[in-house]
Copies of this chain bind each other. A is one copy, B any other.
């Protein structure tokens, strides 16, 4: 068994048996005719694992998909961008079911075999007729070379499409994992305004897939934050159709750990792309809190710093204002002791024992001039740690989010 794997092209259509299609049906009412409807399908029934938003206000497609995903024989996922179909009441639920129904009719599947996702503005009824009208062409247009088109069609304010795929060898069988995601604003730990579709041709049971996928999401999409906001629509789905023919993956096996490492590679890279494409962001920051008394302490401290408007503004200004970092650590509910705290930027010590180090300030300013840098906070109270990927806060963020 090889321990490595290689990146391949194709995104969600890289694994055997998966096809995709995308079109513009007019949900995004702009003149530039951007694609706003996407479909991915499997030629055989697939088991599905899923994670949905923890926001108490859940969009209609989230509620419908959470029900449909239990079927155990998913065939397709339809996604529209430009309208979230959230806060749309019972009409919204009908619209989400209608999308699944028409896809199922056209593909000759069952309604419960189709999952539905929406992303975009909240509170406006879906233009359901336009979507319904475009579905027949979409289903008949399913092709194995449409992975990239799929990734583009699910974008909202994203500036680049996010997709990735790998091939690995499990007990002699070639297994592929592909993925596409959309991100931009409203990104926070505990999911995000984030849609992510992962496909694989691995042979794996639904329960096993759900366990591996949940861990993978926790260590990827749940460790990124742009603005601390969490959406009503966040959805991550993983379909496994078994066409690779590998021996079934079982938990506690070496092969399953290997498969998990491939899955993690996909989710972490997609999560990283989402942060790199954070709305208006000019800096990409890998923030680690270590030496915490507990994992929860490490996480709370990291999230307080990563979501502080003042800290994020200073990063935009390339100003190593560690006072704001220490202030945020202090108001987080994490256990801290001022005189124990060390802070590093790209490994250069800025704070030692809670006070300014002897490093000349211009040395630290040099680090912040980079587009990417790390911030490491050592609380020296234990051995727990937590890492989060985040961005700066820029005037451009506000401009991008000030209107429709």
A residues touching B (Cβ–Cβ < 8 Å)? 54-58, 84, 86-89, 121-124, 185-186, 188, 190, 227-232, 307-310, 313-314, 316-319, 321-324, 326-331, 336, 338-339, 351, 353-356, 393-404
**16 intermolecular pairs with C-beta atoms under 8 Å apart:** A56-B329, A57-B336, A57-B338, A58-B338, A87-B355, A89-B355, A121-B321, A186-B310, A229-B308, A231-B327, A232-B330, A309-B401, A394-B398, A395-B395, A397-B398, A398-B398
Instruction: Tell which of B55, B230, B327, B353 touches A230, judged by Cβ atoms closer than 8 Å.
Output: B327
Q: Taking the nearest CB of chain B, how far is it from the CB of A393, in angstroms?
A: 6
Instruction: Tell which of B55, B397, B402 touches A319, judged by Cβ atoms closer than 8 Å.
Output: B402
Q: Taking the nearest CB of chain B, how far is it from the CB of A234, in angstroms?
A: 10
CB of A310 within 8 A of CB of B84, answer no
CB of A330 within 8 A of CB of B401, answer no
List B contacts of A314 (CB < 8 A): 401-403
List B contacts of A55 (CB < 8 A): 327, 330-331
Task: Write the chain B residue with the least CB distance to A226.
Answer: B309
Task: Write the chain B residue with the least CB distance to A316.
Answer: B402
A225 to B190, CA, bound (A): 24
Instruction: Tell which of B58, B123, B227, B326 touches A356, judged by Cβ atoms closer than 8 Å.
Output: B123
Task: Write the chain B residue with the least CB distance to A92.
Answer: B355
List B contacts of A331 (CB < 8 A): 54-56, 188, 190, 229-230
Task: Write the chain B residue with the least CB distance to A86.
Answer: B323
- Count chain B CB atoms within 10 A of each CB in A227, A395, A402 and give the residue with the most: A402
List B contacts of A188 (CB < 8 A): 331
Known A-B contacts A54-B331, A229-B309, A401-B309; the reply to A354 vs B87 at CB < 8 A is: yes
Task: Write the chain B residue with the least CB distance to A231.
Answer: B327
Q: Taking the nearest CB of chain B, how far is it from the CB of A396, in angstroms?
A: 8
List B contacts of A326 (CB < 8 A): 57, 87, 122-123, 232
CB of A87 within 8 A of CB of B329, answer no
CB of B393 within 8 A of CB of A398, answer yes
List B contacts of A58 (CB < 8 A): 330, 338
Known A-B contacts A356-B123, A403-B314; the reply to A229 vs B87 at CB < 8 A is: no
